[in-house]
Amino acid sequence: MKTKLIYTITLLLLLPLFSDAQSKCSDFFKYRKPEAPYEYNDQSSSAVCVTGQTYEFILPLTKGKDYRLKFYAAAVFNNRINFKIIDESTHETVLDLPGESPTREEGTCVLADYYDEDTGKSHHPYFDFYPVTSTTLKIIIEVLPVPQEESPDPNIKKQKKINRGCITVVVLDKPSDNSSF
């Protein structure tokens, strides 16, 4: 009985920490506006994630809409995240990129902004999808572990460092530009 009480009290003390982190993740959409003609899709999502874990996000796409995906992650992850998108109907990998690459050129990473010399502005990477038929995408987000410092003394075992932060998948859509006879 005493153990149950301790677990309950511990849970009640920790619950606000997790709910607060979750509410801060959902705040992402309060301060950003989609760029016209795109609008936020209700499938956009933000979640608290942990280093060393892999997450899957299933995204149904419908015919008649054009989609734009953007990914954002908390600075605590230092862009050490791999993103993969698989078309569930064909099992084809349509995107397999790191959060940041050494080149930081357009189309080589998912999270790091790039400078567009034509417009003279910095842009966040995005990925457009124009489904011909309704399909489903599986988004796999692999948050890499934090690099661990090695101790010179083999008798000292360091505790694994774990970071927690928000990752946001922004789904934008607009009616398709159908051009047919």
Q: Is the pLDDT of residue 3 over 70?
A: no
Between CA 137 and CA 152 the distance in angstroms is 46
Q: Determine what percent of the chain is predicted with pLDDT higher than 70.
A: 79
- Amino acid residing at 2: K
Q: Where are the alpha helices (DSSP H) in the chain?
A: 2-26
Q: Where are the domains of the chain?
A: 2-148+160-175
Q: Is the pLDDT of residue 23 over 80?
A: no
Give the residues across from 142 on adjacent strands. Answer: 54, 82
Between CA 54 and CA 139 the distance in angstroms is 10
Answering whether pTM is above 0.85, one says: no
Residues 86-108, mean pLDDT to the nearest whole number: 87
Cβ neighbours around 131 below 10 Å, total: 19
Residues 86-114, mean pLDDT to the nearest whole number: 87
Confidence class for position 34, pLDDT limits 50, 70, 90:
confident
Residue of 86, 37, 98 lying closest to 59 (CA atoms): 86
Residue 26's pLDDT is 73
Assess contact for 165 and 106: CB atoms under 8 A. no
Residues 33-42, mean pLDDT to the nearest whole number: 89
Residue 51's pLDDT is 95
Residue 159's pLDDT is 66
154 vs 50, more confident: 50
102 vs 120, more confident: 120
> Across all residues in the chain, what is the average pLDDT?
81
Assess contact for 88 and 136: CB atoms under 8 A. yes
Q: Is the pLDDT of residue 17 over 90?
A: no
Between CA 43 and CA 123 the distance in angstroms is 23
Residues 59-69, mean pLDDT to the nearest whole number: 95
Assess contact for 64 and 118: CB atoms under 8 A. no
Residue 180's pLDDT is 53
Confidence class for position 16, pLDDT limits 50, 70, 90:
very low
